Structure 1
Amino acid sequence: MALTQQSALLLPEKFGNWIVGPVEVPTPGPGQLLVKIEATALNPVDWKIQVYGMFIEKFPSILGSDAAGTVDAIGEGVEGFAVGDKVVYQGFFVNPQATFQQYGIANADVTAKIPSNITVDEAATIPLGLATAALGLFDLYAAGSAKLFPPWVEGGRGKYAGKAIVIFGGASSVGQYTIQLAKLAGFSSIITTASLKNTELLQSFGATHVLDRNLSEAALVAEVAKIAPVVEVVYDAISLASTQNPAYDIVAPGGTLVLVLPDQIDAAKKSAAPGKQIVNVFGNVNAPDRRKTGQTLYSKLTALLEEGAIKPNRVELLPNGLAGIPEGLKRMEKDQVSAVKLVARPQETV
């Protein structure tokens, strides 16, 4: 007999306190999978929704958008997956597709099998970070992208040899995947800002230069200019005013600055140096306008992971299953997490 009840981490109301409670196990529709979620990762958007009351208007709400686990049931018309497959997928902002629960719904066309060289916990670090990096740089179909040619598509590898890219926040989850995709795309200079303690890690992903994130704006702009006089693409994975302004200074006229948060660039700066494109990425492959690029990415993801072309974030496991997530989110809010992804195991919820 199929399980009908499960545990989920619930946000009962706007600005409410997290609680673990019972909810129904959802049923997969056409083109969908029901996944037993064995690992889910935490992202900044999760604590921001609770603290700032943004995005979500329907409560009680289940959050979470990174998941890995085992296929438990298959919806009508799905091919290429079987019950028992280990898979990784990105959740969405509706309860059945959220990932802070023990069972969730995945859209099969943006789901990938997990290769044997990475763990389920590691796989859970991938979806949101990779999507935000990939869609911000390489989505040819939607607004909110630099519209570079994707390196996972035939003919895309090495296409940007001789070019430079600057990535603010290289040690963040999004930053780590942006570096790896930039390497795959062939960028010759991959310059990133980070705490210098993370230099070796970021170089292992493909960064050619790691600059101290504590440099003054002027010093940072000067250092980048020494390495790469012309930078046509800048990706700001932090996107605070303190990073957006030097990022805008660095990007060349006619170039593109990718932001993950709303534009906070000084108006005077824009007036003094017009002709620079600013795009905001919505990093979710389930969004209707992002689905086409998501499908191309997920069709290649298993092979990219198997090859080691894309490596997961380092994992820090949280205790107590879903009940351990609120404390992890509080640590993220206080900026107490660096160069690791916090992961919870929903099946370990007491």
Structure 2
Amino acid sequence: MANLAALLTAVNTPLEIQEVEKWTPDPTEILVKNEVIAFNPIEWKLAKLGIYPLHFPAILGSTIGGTIEAVGSEVKGYEVGDKVVASKKFGQKFGADGNRFGAYQRYVVVGDVMISKLPTGLDPAVPASIMMNLTCVVGLFTGRLGLERPPLNGSKAAKKSEKILIYGGSSSFGTLSIQYLSQAGYSVTTTSSPKNKDFVSKLGAATVIDHTGQSEALSKELIAKGPYDIVVDMISLPNTIPILAGVLAAQDGGNSLYAMQPAFGPETLPKGVTRVFEPWSDPLYEDGNQHLLEWVIKTYLPQGLANGVINPVPVERVAGGLSGVNGALDRMQKGVSGRRLVAYPWER
């Protein structure tokens, strides 16, 4: 059966639905019949802002759920017919040379590392919607910053002394981070709009601050609730970075502002404050962290969802299959809070 894809032919132009090659996996790869696309915010920035170099035509998208169609000769532990979710490593071959890995198509090639078998009866849209961000959460807080992981056996973690500020608690990255950190025993202060406050509070945040008011008042309240050992801006836009940078500048010690994306242009930060960004799943691929990558994919994701340890934000279906991708990108550009968008590429 032919493979269809939503192709980006130039930055900030509508994606076009075209027939493309049905890929053959290499010995260490797997071909998946893609049944659900989970959208990640970085994708609209790639499509509309070109924040990373692209080779056109490009098939974007990072995370999928579906059924294994073919297995490479060196792959162990997976068989044709297995239900899986998969994600490519952030930055992996953006552009035409990596089109086989893009999620915006009906058949996708994935490596045998960032792929997880699904428990029976679990809707693939749910784990697919959090997979990429979940690897980034563990990569940042444990792989890079050395914080402890939460227990999955029902036991309660000992309280830790570290206090962490998460700006943007109702974002997907924010909600996963709050759960991960609070369940590991850390004290989390976060921000949210009033409509999402109750949901964010139930995730384990010790303090939830309304971030919809004036930035000056918000800054004062955040500073008053500090000091913080770690400050993370889950939104990382020109209107949020100065607020968090001001919080860091007002407290003694700790000058790193951890961000979810690089600066879009020149920015001026207070003396001693540095924006720190990298693709936060990258630490999982470093020497000594391979066990963390395996734990996230093979244990934390499936068991956390099955046991109710991970409470994802609701998913919302975008109508139109591959034709709905443009609308999803437009919506993410305007801002999506408290939900994750998914599309079904076989839907017409």
TM-score (norm: length of structure 1): 0.85
> Following the alignment from structure 1 to structure 2, what is the Cα–Cα distance between the partners of residues 157 and 16?
50
- Match of 2:113, SS state, is helix
Cα shift at 1:152: 6.8
The one-letter code of the counterpart of 2:140 is G
Cα shift at 1:328: 1.6
Question: Which residue pairs with 2:219 in the alignment?
Answer: 221
Question: Which residue pairs with 1:254 in the alignment?
Answer: 254
Tell me if the contact between 2:140 and 2:283 (Cα under 8 Å) persists in the aligned partners. no
Q: 1:191 to 1:101 in 2, by over 3 A?
A: same
Question: Which residue pairs with 1:180 in the alignment?
Answer: 179
Could you give the per-residue CA deviations for residues 272-308 of structure 1, whole angstroms, max 9, x where no partner exists? xx3x564213144699659834334213222222222
Could you give the per-residue CA deviations for residues 260-283 of structure 1, whole angstroms, max 9, x where no partner exists? 1225896461x2xx3x56421314
- Tell me, which stretches of 5 or more residues in structure 2 are unaligned? none
- Of the candidates 22, 28, 47, which is equivalent to residue 44 of structure 2? 47
Q: 1:24 to 1:283 in 2, by over 3 A?
A: farther
Question: Which residue pairs with 2:164 in the alignment?
Answer: 165
- Of the candidates 54, 79, 99, which is equivalent to residue 95 of structure 1? 99
Question: Which residue pairs with 1:108 in the alignment?
Answer: 112
Question: Which residue pairs with 2:202 in the alignment?
Answer: 204
Superposed, 1:10-159 pairs within 5 Å as 10-91=7-88, 92=92, 93=94, 94-116=98-120, 118-139=122-143, 145-151=144-150, 158=157
Cα shift at 1:19: 0.7
The one-letter code of the counterpart of 1:47 is W
Q: 1:20 to 1:265 in 2, by over 3 A?
A: closer
Cα shift at 1:255: 5.8
TM-score (norm: length of structure 2): 0.86
- RMSD of aligned Cα (Å): 2.8
> Following the alignment from structure 1 to structure 2, what is the Cα–Cα distance between the partners of residues 100 and 151?
33
1:242 equivalent in alignment to 2:261: no
Cα shift at 1:102: 0.7
How many residues end up aligned between the 2 structures?
333
The one-letter code of the counterpart of 1:242 is N
The one-letter code of the counterpart of 2:110 is A
Cα shift at 1:153: 9.9
Tell me if the contact between 2:139 and 2:284 (Cα under 8 Å) persists in the aligned partners. no
Could you give the per-residue CA deviations for residues 317-344 of structure 1, whole angstroms, max 9, x where no partner exists? 0111111110121122122x22111100
Tell me if the contact between 1:136 and 1:281 (Cα under 8 Å) persists in the aligned partners. no
Tell me if the contact between 1:137 and 1:147 (Cα under 8 Å) persists in the aligned partners. yes
The one-letter code of the counterpart of 2:103 is T
Cα shift at 1:158: 3.2
Cα shift at 1:132: 2.7
Question: Which residue pairs with 1:343 in the alignment?
Answer: 342
Q: 1:268 to 1:240 in 2, by over 3 A?
A: closer
The one-letter code of the counterpart of 1:247 is L
> Following the alignment from structure 1 to structure 2, what is the Cα–Cα distance between the partners of residues 322 and 308?
31
Cα shift at 1:134: 2.4
> Following the alignment from structure 2 to structure 1, what is the Cα–Cα distance between the partners of residues 62 and 44?
12
The one-letter code of the counterpart of 1:137 is F
Could you give the per-residue CA deviations for residues 173-217 of structure 1, whole angstroms, max 9, x where no partner exists? 211211121123211x32111211001221232222221112334
Cα shift at 1:118: 3.4
Q: 1:152 to 1:281 in 2, by over 3 A?
A: farther
Question: Which residue pairs with 1:316 in the alignment?
Answer: 316
Q: 1:103 to 1:287 in 2, by over 3 A?
A: farther
Tell me if the contact between 2:322 and 2:344 (Cα under 8 Å) persists in the aligned partners. yes
Cα shift at 1:309: 1.8
> Following the alignment from structure 1 to structure 2, what is the Cα–Cα distance between the partners of residues 101 and 159?
45
> Following the alignment from structure 1 to structure 2, what is the Cα–Cα distance between the partners of residues 37 and 111?
13
The one-letter code of the counterpart of 2:123 is T
Could you give the per-residue CA deviations for residues 238-260 of structure 1, whole angstroms, max 9, x where no partner exists? 01232222223334513642111
Question: Which residue pairs with 1:142 in the alignment?
Answer: none
> Following the alignment from structure 2 to structure 1, what is the Cα–Cα distance between the partners of residues 158 and 278?
22
> Following the alignment from structure 1 to structure 2, what is the Cα–Cα distance between the partners of residues 281 and 147?
16
Tell me if the contact between 2:134 and 2:296 (Cα under 8 Å) persists in the aligned partners. no
- Match of 1:16, SS state, is coil
